[in-house]
A and B are shown apart, each in its own frame.
Chain A
Amino acid sequence: AQSVTQPDIHITVSEGASLELRCNYSYGATPYLFWYVQSPGQGLQLLLKYFSGDTLVQGIKGFEAEFKRSQSSFNLRKPSVHWSDAAEYFCAVEGTGGFKTIFGAGTRLFVKA
């Protein structure tokens, strides 16, 4: 069965600084990987997804993530954080044998002026 670990419960970055949120997964084969964002009072929204091919994927709002098979990781990055990026970020994995999608515990991002 697949599982997801997000090691950082919360992260604080200054506005304009770069960001990296960590995600490690456990799955026997190459999974499908996702990052979702949940802003206060909002529903979960897809940021980006990895299916296959190019291991660096681009998403909305200037986010990108890199799949590294050797490290079982799918870290989320953004070169310059905006105050509106403050939210909770969830990494998720879907096993290739079905449609069950498992989420990590989330990382809450705080942005300081």
Chain B
Amino acid sequence: GAGVSQTPSNKVTEKGKYVELRCDPISGHTALYWYRQSLGQGPEFLIYFQGTGAADDSGLPNDRFFAVRPEGSVSTLKIQRTERGDSAVYLCASSEGTAGANVLTFGAGSRLTVL
């Protein structure tokens, strides 16, 4: 697509529920990133994929968070047993994945509110 698309744009859920957030990157971009941005903070790195594999998942806060990219394009961030502290904007970005100065193109984000 022309840009990075994220759905849903807003998600309100109850504590303890399961949530999936979807990211559709720019066509042809091999690298895909997930960040979390809390109010007044910078984007916090969660995970990035090169193709289908998670190249670095060191930012995932705990085992309730999981992300997949089964065909090397669309990615889903999955959060189990949501907690109020998970409330944030989840940003997805993609890039060409070439070595040296990887320019990220961001989506508009998915705002998650856990009640």
Contacts and interface: CB of A to CB of B under 8 A. Distances in A.
Nearest to B35: A103
Contacts of A42: 108
Contact of B45 (A6, A49, A102, A106): A102
Contact of A103 (B42, B107, B108): B42
Contact of A46 (B103, B108, B109): B103
A90 B48 contact: no
A49 B48 contact: no
Interface residues of A, number: 25
Interface string B74-115: 000000000000000001010101001111101111000000
A86 to B, nearest CB: 16
A43 interface: yes
A68 B109 CA distance: 33
Interface in A3-55: 4, 6, 32, 34, 36, 42-46, 49-51
B48 to A, nearest CB: 6
Interface residues of B, number: 27
Given A32-B100, A94-B102, A104 B42 contact: yes
Chain A contact residues, majority secondary structure: strand
Top 6 closest pairs, chain A to chain B, by CB: A103-B42, A32-B101, A44-B106, A51-B101, A43-B106, A105-B42
Given A49-B103, A98-B55, 9 more contacts: A43-B107, A45-B106, A49-B101, A51-B100, A99-B55, A100-B45, A100-B48, A101-B104, A104-B42
Interface of B: 31, 33, 35, 40-45, 48, 50, 55-56, 58, 91, 93, 95, 97, 100-104, 106-109
Interface of A: 4, 6, 32, 34, 36, 42-46, 49-51, 90, 94, 96, 98-106
9 contacts: A32-B101, A43-B109, A44-B104, A90-B42, A99-B95, A103-B35, A103-B44, A103-B45, A104-B42
